[in-house]
Structure 1
Amino acid sequence: MTDLFLKYFRSKQQEVQFEKIYDSQCPFCSMQCKMQLIEQTIVTKKKYRAVGKDNPTSEGRLCIKGMNAHQHSFNHDRIKYPLLKVNGEFVRISWKQALDHIKENFTRIQAEDGLNALAVYGSASITNEEAYLLGKFARVALKTKYIDYNGRLCMSAAASAASQTFGMDRGLTNTLKEIPFSRVIILAGTNIAECQPTIMPYFEKAKENGSYIIVIDPRETATAKIADLHLKVKPGTDAALANGILKVIIEENFIDETFIQERAVGFAEVKDYVSSLNLEEIAEITGISSELIRTAAIKFGQEETGMIFTARGVEQQTNGTATVRNFLNILIATGKIGKASCGFGAITGQGNGQGAREHGQKADQLPGYRSIENEEHRAYIASVWGINPEDLPRKGVSAYEMIEKIDKGEITGMFLMCSNPIVSSPNANFVERALKKLKFLVAVDMFISETARLADLILPTSSYLEDEGTMTNLEGRVTLREASRPCPGEVKHDWQIICEIADALGKGKYFSYSSAEDIFNELRVASRGGIADYYGITYDRLRKERGILWPCPHPDHKGTKMLFETAFAHPDGKAKMAVVKNDPVVSKEKPSNEFPLYLTTGRVMSHYLTGVQTRKSASLAARNVESYMEIHPETALKYNIKDHALVEIESRRGKIVVRSRWSEKIRKDTIFVPIHWADSQNVNLLISDELDPACKMPGFKVSAVRIKPLLPTS
């Protein structure tokens, strides 16, 4: 038997004529798992296999998305040449024709409607170099104040809350490696088992070590299965729940008085407010019994170490910033921050959700997390860019507000990079109608997405296997994504596209780079002295050290593993606690006789964001072919909804049709629909355009809806 096996093995080896290995990182979630794609040429056919590569964050693990990511890169629908819309159809043109077309239309629009008539819509999936360059492109090449990005719909609430509370925003205040040694962990609105599966072993190890895990979620998700306590909260009431937990912590004297006195301000006001609250009323608001609230509070308060993690479940609400701030109040009151195995983690969604918001894509920011309204910050960045500070535009508006300005005719042209706002934005019917009003829309993408279908011109961009650059993962760890696979057809990298357009517009001297590393070296200088200081990070160091946590202010600095050990980032060194009222999220989104159910949204493991890439992967698409509605069986029977039947879901904004899926793991007053599908299954057609006043985050997680079977049932 052994001889037969060896003979078979040798014959198979001989069939492999050639093998190539491409180093890269998974293009999807914020774990940014290191990986290799192995390409084998067997006779005339190619076979591909993805394997994880050891690294400090995911330790060589890959999830199902990473293992199949290459499939979308090789999909036959991929755009390989510039496409111009002629008589409603896309036709291939040359790059020169494309650049000439952009120059003509951008120049005409700004002559007719003003400099700010052009807008730039960016992405949290592009590299740091490209995010930095896109901000520079908007402000130097186009001289427009209107730039924002799709990360506004993902991380803005957590970022605002951390900045307001701590004085700075980095995804984790410490590292993932401390999780297994934390004695109590709160996971608020985060389904990491499906959204970031390769992070789960850290929490499983914590569980093995005796950590007490509290999950806050309206659904019993795969993540909730590891919980010692699952608080199945009513959608939109997380801030009230945090107040209840904090009330018990204070009453049971689990606060760290020394820490509060030395390291925080605002505690007295918070204490006065939560002390005035009635725990039974909080139980009524949240749907969580007072006994369970007390259990959670005592467990978190009594342990020496503890960590709190938040994600979209609590952040994508119209009071998301305030809600996250309230969970941070709990950390500060108990002194569980700036210490080993203590701290806060905002579980970043998109691959470069952290880095993309640090270097200039946000409407009010300049590189290094500087403020575009701060005169000193403006002067410094202007000196790096070689322009006059007065030539820098002032702050613009958030991503959704840019859409509103398009609808009003204030913005008439847009440069869209690697984003799909028709599917990702709330009130999606309105977004599509608004974008159709543009005089000229340029989309940079790998595929003709639902938004790119509306474009006048589509430019083909490179994939994660082809585009080298740095990414900053959920820890705040800057990593170098190697990428050596040649671009197919006439595909160009995002940074090359930006530079060539700038050159066509007569601004080439500001964009004369020959590589991603050239751009990074300028980014290092631009970030120097800022909150997000990358100056000490180089490509050589990243290759040797496999990632460096910012801030890293000089080349000999090892990076910052733990924030706030001795002081917070506010000028006085203290954290700012804030009173968060038990007000409802949005009164009109509370269930009523007309719209009696809560709708909440989220992800599934096999898909990513709007599904433009994962739905082009046969292996991933096959796992979830269509969208669905998760509903409790008792609720389904009440509305005459059979299991696996087509259902119409309607809100005040629109309606969609999906297939029902009975589950006892969800609240009876709530239904769940994932976000990855478009057109008639686009759940964001149902979502309100109400925005968080602090960060302009839409309230994706709380909508009032009604349901009915699509077909009459007997």
Structure 2
Amino acid sequence: MTEWAKTACILCECNCGLEMQVADRRLLKIRGDKDHPGSAGYTCEKPLRLDRYQNGPHRLDSPLRRRPDGTYEEIDWDTALDEIAGKLAAVRDTHGGDKIFYYGGGGQGNHLGGAYGRALMAALGVKYFSNALAQEKTSEAWVTHEMCGTHVTGDFENAEVAVFIGKNPWQSHGVARARPTLRELARDPKRSIIVIDPRRSETAELADFHLQLKPGTDLWCVSAIAATLVQENLIARDWLDEHAVGVEDVLAFLRRVDITDHAGRCDVPEDLIRAAARRIAAAESVSTYEDLGVQHSSNSTLVAYMHKMLWLLTGNFGKPGGVNLHSWVVPIAGRWHAVPRQDGPVWAEGARRVIGTKMMRHSAKLLRRLLSGSSGRAWSRAMADRAADAALRVFFEPLSVPLAQRLTDRLTFVDSDELGTTPVTGAAAIGGLIPCNSIVEEILTDHPDRLRAMWIDASNPVHSLPGTARFAEAMRSLAVSVVVDVAFTETARQADYVLPAASQFEKYEASFFTLHFPHNTFQVRRPLMDPLPGTRPEPEIYAAIVDRLGLVDQRLIDDLTAAATVSHRAFALALFSTVEHQPELAGLLPYLLYRTLGTTMPDGERPMALVWGMAQVCAIGYPDAVGRAGFTARGFAKGEQLFEAFRDNREGVLFSDDSYEDAWSYVRHPDRKIHASIPLLLDELKRLNEIESDHTSAEFPFVLSAGERRAFTANVIIRNPEWRRRDAEGALRIGEDDAADLGVTTGDRVRVVTEAGAAETVVEVNAMMRPGHVSLPNGLGVTYPGEDGTATVVGVPLNTLTTNSRRDKFFGNPNHKNVPARIEVLR
């Protein structure tokens, strides 16, 4: 009997724990892992067919180089790595490292490889980077940053009222154990679900209040609910006085909102809007969640701002069932911040910090040589370990937070909480992320600061970003482009070099989506099999390129490796001293860990070296929460305990445990209050009556939502169309009245036409759609080898129908869910 091996789903940010039976490289059986500390055995139907990702003719097994005629040839790894390193170095030396652009860093489940990619970025002097978050989450991220400093999460398991805005968790998840949680909410007569969505989705079917608004009018609907709270005096005034500032600016705006007019703009009965607001106000607890339905639609930043008012004005923060801030293993974007210890300052902290810093800066080489020179004999190793232990006991706690801040600032490429801007267009960059809609504009120009090279890691922007043809053109114009992926994707077909990666089940991996409160979990996934011959894990690829750039002296590598053979304590002292003495090495930390500490780890665990560093940073950042999770040691030893748990517990680890009042300690404003007023957005809201809410026309009378989540859509990581048990082609969903007007029924074929292009598809008449609204699913329209080896495409590649011209005013989020279109019947 084949044993069950523990791993996790890689299809959405929930990353539910899984168990798999594996034989002959096939994923034979898949089930939820009951031992997983977060999902506890839950899974939806989507990961049960992950063998279609792992196996098939789509897998690459050799590096590829583009010929002048556009075809590709296989080359060996050394040739590929030598040529790529040389061309990237040439761009750096000629134009500057800031002209090299990095996109990706992992999808829904492979963040560890992308984290190692940060070392390559640092080695090349890369300044600008992006990923899918920058076309989805940046508007909301900036709003929450301004209000409280970091990401917020809802406690839906305990909420009396759950509000979903442009969100269908029945299909898209995002909520832990989404379907059981929704069922429990729906069954309890004392609890309510409120859904704001143009579609009568599966979640809307369960809802007590469904505000089925006109597509693209979410701003008017959500602001009308917030205005009702204010105008009917339903706000938590005493709570706001104690816990928030700038509230009067918001109240002044909401008092002026014409609720009747807003109800008409969004085509939702005013009585229903007011009833939803009253239900929110009456509840003991409210959690809210917005998603791509609004983040990919009109006015996404303003919607995010008004959405936050629903929980803020009613005092639903820092309480069971409310909205809370949370810990991270490491932030997936933006700047790292530490939460202060609750037991007060460290004894003689200032003096110990000054002395320790001077020792590290001025004695780093001596410390490193002494520690590494002690690695030969058992007695000398023991003495060196004791000396390192003593030094860490004295200096680690006072030094660790500022040291971790400097290291993480360098690794995240964000050393300030201020917004950055892009070099050509001046677009706002949140958490260092260039808006995806701006990437092409930063390349296809004669501006001297234009981007000239691109590295793309485990991402498919030609397929997933607006304007497929323009992105392909931009890639072809670069001096060099490199794609690292498991398959010959649409993006790989435009690259100069394609490097085949081991799959997510063939290497050590992890997801950094640690988004929960008060109990947060993290899982390191071990490989279930050896890499497919000819492929390599991303950490090895990145290390090999950095090797070829020749930035790190081999003596330094040898010394740190020798220190690691003494003990982790000796290694930490040698490493931290070295980086403090040579701060230019901070960005190369993943590479240094891989080439030094990683070589001393057993059983091929070299990629775990970075997890060791992550564990230390996590323990430094959240000492109390990590301690309550059972890691009770002090200082350096706490991070060591956490690392050992990550390494040893294959089902995952509860790494932080908070009480609800601890949410306030995560607020990053010095006054530990929520800042309600965002003047930039309030100024824009004052002209709300001037903002256009309807972008249809006689030429394009329908609103197309491009990217609906369905039962068998996830993302393009599974390219094999056979994984979908139903809706194989990804039908165009259209309402009954519109279908009758067009004279079509389910199974008929139509052409969808937009400003950008056209595509043929099959029709599904569905009562969930309101008049004038149609939808196509995400995850289709990718190439896949047919039985004869010929590339086939099933479904509509959505971004042949989109442009990057319609975007959010502030942060450039595309309007994928609000594309004017017309439907032509094919006879």
Report TM bin, short chain: 0.7 to 0.9
Report whether the alignment pairs 1:625 with 2:625.
no
CA contact under 8 A between 1:640 and 1:708: conserved in structure 2?
Answer: no
Query: Is the deviation greater in 91-100 or in 332-341?
Result: 91-100
Residue 471 of structure 2 corresponds to residue 431 of structure 1: yes
Aligned AA (2:802): I
Which of 47, 51, 57 aligns to 2:38? It is: 57
Distance in 2 (alpha carbons) for counterparts of 1:307 and 1:669: 31
C-alpha displacement at 1:587, in angstroms? 3.9
Query: Which residue of structure 2 aligns with residue 571 of structure 1?
Result: 670
Q: Does structure 1 residue 313 correspond to structure 2 residue 288?
A: no
Match of residue 213 from structure 1? 193
Alpha carbons 1:233, 1:288 under 8 Å: kept: yes
Q: Superposition RMSD on alpha carbons, in Å?
A: 3.3
Counterparts of 2:82 and 2:298, CA distance in 1: 42
Does residue 1:522 correspond to 2:613, yes or no?
yes
The equivalent position to 1:36 in structure 2, one of 2, 9, 19, is 19
Deviations 1:473-514 (A, max 9, x none): 363434123222211102211222111111122235631302
Q: Superposed, which structure 2 residues align to 1:485-496 within 5 Å?
A: 485-496=529-540
Give the match for residue 614 of structure 1: 718
**Counterpart Cα distance in 1 of 2:60 and 2:733:** 35
Q: Say whether residues 1:188 and 2:165 are aligned partners.
A: yes
Counterpart of 2:813 in structure 1 is 697
Listed one character per residue, the Cα deviations across residues 141-165 of structure 1 (whole Å, up to 9, x for unaligned) are 1102121112222322332222122
Task: Note closer, same or farther for the CA distance 1:487–1:188 as it changes in structure 2 (3 Å cut).
Answer: same
The residue identity in structure 1 corresponding to 2:124 is L
Partner of 2:776: 673
Q: Which residue of structure 2 lines up, in the alignment, with residue 591 of structure 1?
A: 696
Amino acid at match of 1:299: R
Is contact 1:384-1:525 (8 Å) kept?
no
Please give the alpha-carbon distance, in whole angstroms, between the structure 2 residues aligned to 1:653 and 1:434: 17
- From the superposition, tell whether residues 229 and 223 of structure 1 become closer, same or farther in structure 2 (CA, over 3 Å): same
Q: Return the letter of the residue paired with 1:672.
A: S
Task: Give the match for residue 504 of structure 1.
Answer: 548
Who is 1:480 aligned against? Answer: 523
TM-score by length of 1: 0.84
Superimposed CA distance per residue, residues 221-258 of structure 1 (whole angstroms, 9 cap, x where no aligned partner)? 11111111111111222121111111222233221111
431-440 vs 581-590, which moves further: 581-590
Give the SS at the match of 1:280.
helix
1:684 matches 2:799:
yes
What is the CA-CA distance between 1:442 and the residue it aligns to?
0.8
Aligned to 1:73: 54
SS at match of 2:493: helix
Question: CA deviation digits over 1:111-163, x for unaligned, max 9?
Answer: 4433222111113435443333323421x211021211122223223322221
1:91–1:80 Cα change, 3 Å: same
- The answer to whether the 8 Å contact 2:734/2:763 transfers is yes
Whole-Å Cα distance in 1 between the matches of residues 59 and 116 of structure 2? Answer: 24
Structure-1 residue corresponding to 2:65: 84
Distance 1:701-1:641 versus aligned 2 partners, 3 A rule: same
- The number of equivalent residue pairs is 656
Q: Which amino acid aligns with 1:115?
A: G
Question: Partners of 1:474 and 1:651 in 2: how far apart?
Answer: 38
Distance in 1 between residues matched to 2:474 and 2:443, nearest whole Å: 6
| 3-state SS of 2:150 partner | coil
The CA deviation at 1:548 is 5.7
Q: 1:379 to 1:309 in 2, by over 3 A?
A: closer
Q: Secondary structure at the match of 1:213?
A: strand
1:13 is matched with none
Partners of 2:467 and 2:662 in 1: CA distance: 38
**What is the distance in 1 between the residues matched to 2:337 and 2:542?**
20
Following the alignment from structure 1 to structure 2, what is the Cα–Cα distance between the partners of residues 406 and 191? 36
Any idea what the Cα deviations from partners look like across 1:288-312, whole Å, max 9, x if unmatched?
0101101111111112112112111
8 Å contact kept, 2:699–2:822: yes
Deviation at 1:265, TM superposition (A): 1.9
Q: Write out per-residue CA displacement over residues 255-298 of structure 1, whole angstroms, 9 at most, x where no aligned residue.
A: 11111101112222222222212222111111101011011111
Change in 2 beyond 3 A, CA 1:567/1:59: closer
**Contact kept in structure 1, 2:751 and 2:823, CA below 8 Å:** yes
Return the alpha-carbon distance in structure 2 between the equivalents of residues 566 and 411 of structure 1: 40
| Gaps in structure 1 of 5+ consecutive residues | 1-15, 347-353, 371-375, 553-557
2:609 is matched by which residue type in structure 1? D
Structure 2 stretches of 5 or more lacking a match?
340-401, 423-433, 558-587, 599-605, 627-635, 783-794
Q: Which amino acid aligns with 2:55?
A: F
Please tell me whether the aligned partners of residues 307 and 342 of structure 1 are also in contact (alpha carbons under 8 angstroms). yes
Higher Cα Rg, which structure:
2
- Which letter does structure 2 place at the counterpart of 1:189? G
Distance 1:241 1:345 in 2: 26
Task: Give the Cα–Cα distance (whole angstroms) in 2 for the partners of residues 462 and 57 of structure 1.
Answer: 27
Structure 1 residues 320 and 344, CA gap change in structure 2 (3 angstroms)? farther
**Separation in 1, partners of 2:666, 2:496:** 51
Q: CA deviation at 1:528?
A: 7.2
1:406 aligns with 2:389: no
Q: Does 1:654 align with 2:745?
A: no
Matching of residue 200 in structure 1 with residue 179 in structure 2: yes
1:642-670 Cα deviation digits (max 9, x unpaired): 43222222222222222221122111021
Match of 1:262 in 2: 242
Aligned partner letter, 1:521: W
**Offset at residue 213 of structure 1 (A):** 0.8
Q: Is 1:238 equivalent to 2:278 in the alignment?
A: no
Q: CA deviation at 1:584?
A: 7.8
Q: Report the CA distance shift for 1:640/1:395 in structure 2 as closer, same or farther (over 3 A).
A: same
Q: After superposition, what is the alpha-carbon deviation per residue over 1:542-581, rounded to whole angstroms, capped at 9, x for unaligned?
A: 455965677x5xxxxx457775347732222111224445
Rounded Cα–Cα distance in structure 2 between residues aligned with 1:97 and 1:183: 60
Secondary structure, aligned partner of 1:58:
coil
DSSP 3-state at the match of 2:668:
coil
Mean CA deviation greater in 519-528 or 189-198: 519-528
* Structure 2 counterpart of 1:637, from 723, 740, 754: 740
1:590 CA drift (Å): 1.1
3-state DSSP class of the match of 1:615? coil
Match of 1:113 among 58, 80, 95: 95
Q: Give the match's secondary structure for 1:308.
A: strand
For residues 681 and 127 of structure 1, do their structure 2 counterparts lie closer, same or farther at Cα, with a shift above 3 Å needed? closer
**Which is further off, 481-490 or 126-135?**
126-135
Evaluate the alpha carbon distance shift between residue 165 and residue 585 of structure 1 in structure 2; reply closer, same or farther with a 3 A threshold: farther
Letter in 2 for 1:616: N
Separation (CA, whole Å) in 2 of partners of 1:216 and 1:581: 23
> Contact 2:713 / 2:778 at 8 angstroms: preserved in 1?
no
TM-score, length basis structure 2: 0.73
Contact 2:116 2:539 in 1 (8 A): yes
Cα–Cα, structure 1 residues 326 and 183, in superposed 2: closer, same or farther, change >3 Å? Answer: same
Secondary structure class of the residue paired with 2:523: strand
CA distance in 2, matches of 1:584, 1:472: 41
2:251 aligned partner: 271
Q: Which residue number corresponds to residue 206 of structure 2?
A: 226
Percent identical among aligned pairs is 20
**Secondary structure of the corresponding residue to residue 5 of structure 2:** strand
Q: CA deviation at 1:23?
A: 1.8
Task: Specify the code of the residue in structure 2 equivalent to 1:432.
Answer: A
